[in-house]
Amino acid sequence: MNRLVVCIALFVLAVQVGGTKFTDCGSKSGQVASVVVTDCPDSDDTCILKKGTTKGITINFTSKGASNSAQAVVHGVIAGVPLPFSLKNPDGCKSGISCPIKNQESYTYTNQLPIRRSYPALGVTVRWEIQNDNKDDIVCVEIPCEIR
């Protein structure tokens, strides 16, 4: 009986600490460990972005190089065309990353994406990049989403 309780507890914990489904789209000077979007569990194929709300994102990664800065760039990719999403604070050094970024160190980036009511209801891939001093991607992830 105790083993069953332990197994169930471990399963629940694994689900809670799991991440959001994502694809690495070219992280050049970093390695993504996990991506978590608020209310988008890894059991869902598509993350729902409800108009008029804000989604939080956390990206854990390890750097493969040094940089004095970190700049977030976010696009909604629709039919292969990247359309910019605006962020209130694109500065990664003010979003959880301790700058300067050092080689082989782990970092946690957090930010929020407002989902405007004016956005059309459709499927979109959110491409979230964190770029270094040279505008190369430290991190690049794509998350399948749907705006409703």
Q: Domain holding 69: CATH number?
A: 2.60.40.770
Asked whether residue 110 is domain-assigned, the answer is yes
DSSP 17-60: H-----EE---SSEEEEEEEETTB-TT-SSEEE-TTEEEEEEEE
Instruction: Look up residue 98 and give its amino acid.
Output: S
Asked whether residue 65 is domain-assigned, the answer is yes
pLDDT value, residue 89? 94
Asked whether residue 104 is domain-assigned, the answer is yes
Of 13 and 90, the one with more pLDDT: 90
Instruction: Report d(CA 66, CA 101) in Å as an integer.
Output: 5
Asked whether residue 134 is domain-assigned, the answer is yes
Instruction: Report d(CA 89, CA 71) in Å as an integer.
Output: 9
Token pair recorded at residue 72: 């977030």
Among candidates 112, 130, 12, 76, which has minimal Cα distance to 4?
12
Asked whether residue 35 is domain-assigned, the answer is yes
**DSSP H/E element including 79:** none
Query: What's the chain's average pLDDT?
Result: 87
Q: What is the pLDDT of residues 20-60, one digit of tens each?
A: 999 999 999 999 999 999 988 777 789 999 999 999 999 99
Asked whether residue 4 is domain-assigned, the answer is no
Instruction: Look up residue 31 and give its amino acid.
Output: Q
pLDDT value, residue 18? 55
pLDDT value, residue 45? 87
Number of domains in the chain: 1
pTM value is 0.85
Q: What is the mean predicted confidence (pLDDT) over 77-81?
A: 94
Q: What is the mean predicted confidence (pLDDT) over 89-112?
A: 97
Asked whether residue 1 is domain-assigned, the answer is no
pLDDT value, residue 15? 35
2, pLDDT greater than 50: no
Give the residue carrying structure tokens 């190089």.
65
Range of the domain at 95: 23-147
Token pair recorded at residue 70: 């970190």
8, pLDDT greater than 90: no
Among candidates 107, 114, 94, which has minimal Cα distance to 34?
107
Asked whether residue 112 is domain-assigned, the answer is yes
Q: What is the pLDDT of residues 65-74, one digit of tens each?
A: 999 999 999 9
